[in-house]
């Protein structure tokens, strides 16, 4: 993983964290982001979205998914949100899978439920464990 990719993992982690600071319902935000055109752009080899900060990316998601984000829902803790965002982006670089496929393998509730066990692991090991859980059904 190169320096730019690690920086983008951090930006996505901070984006998820910022969604919590703005009191957006976490599960709805994460699903909206991971299935959005913004995530698809970040999944591409190079795109302008990769140079945007988390504030701009959040505004993009809010404008695209305003209905999905207007529902009531739990706002996750800052550290959980950062970890989920970081791991999802790391997963993309590690496997080459797109964001929507990653979300299907590791839905938001599974990520939140496994945070305490996996957040101290190397991201590669956490991803492998999450893939195992998915394969077990």
Domain count, the chain: 1
Examine the pLDDT at 49 and tell me if it is beyond 60. Answer: no
**Beta-carbon neighbour count of residue 122 at 10 Å?**
10
Q: Please give the average per-residue pLDDT across 34-44, as a whole number.
A: 91
The answer to whether residues 15 and 69 touch, using CB atoms and an 8 Å cutoff, is no
CA distance linking residue 32 with residue 57, whole number of Å: 12
Residue with tokens 């991971």: 34
- Count CA atoms within 13 Å of residue 57 on its CB side: 31
Residue 110, token pair as written in the block: 């599974």
Distance CA 17, CA 32 (A): 15
Res 115 pLDDT > 80: yes
pLDDT band at 103 (very low <50, low <70, confident <90, very high): very high
Poorest-confidence range of 2-6, 23-27, 109-113, 128-132?
2-6
Enclosing domain of residue 36:
3-136
55-75 residue pLDDT tens: 888 988 898 887 878 888 999
Please state the pTM of the whole predicted model.
0.92
Q: Which helix (H) or strand (E) holds 46?
A: none
């Amino acid at each position: 993983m190169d320096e730019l990719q690690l920086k983008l993992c951090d930006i996505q982690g901070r984006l998820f964290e910022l969604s919590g600071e703005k009191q957006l319902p976490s599960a709805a935000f994460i699903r909206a982001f991971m299935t959005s055109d913004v995530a698809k752009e970040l999944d591409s080899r190079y795109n302008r979205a990769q140079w945007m900060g988390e504030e701009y990316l959040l505004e993009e998601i809010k404008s695209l998914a305003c209905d999905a984000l207007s529902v009531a829902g739990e706002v996750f803790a800052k550290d959980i949100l950062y970890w989920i965002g970081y791991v999802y982006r790391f997963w993309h670089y590690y496997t080459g899978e797109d964001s929507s496929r990653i979300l299907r393998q590791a839905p938001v509730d599974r990520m939140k439920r496994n945070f305490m066990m996996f957040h101290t692991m190397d991201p590669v090991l956490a991803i492998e464990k999450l893939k195992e859980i998915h394969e077990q059904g």
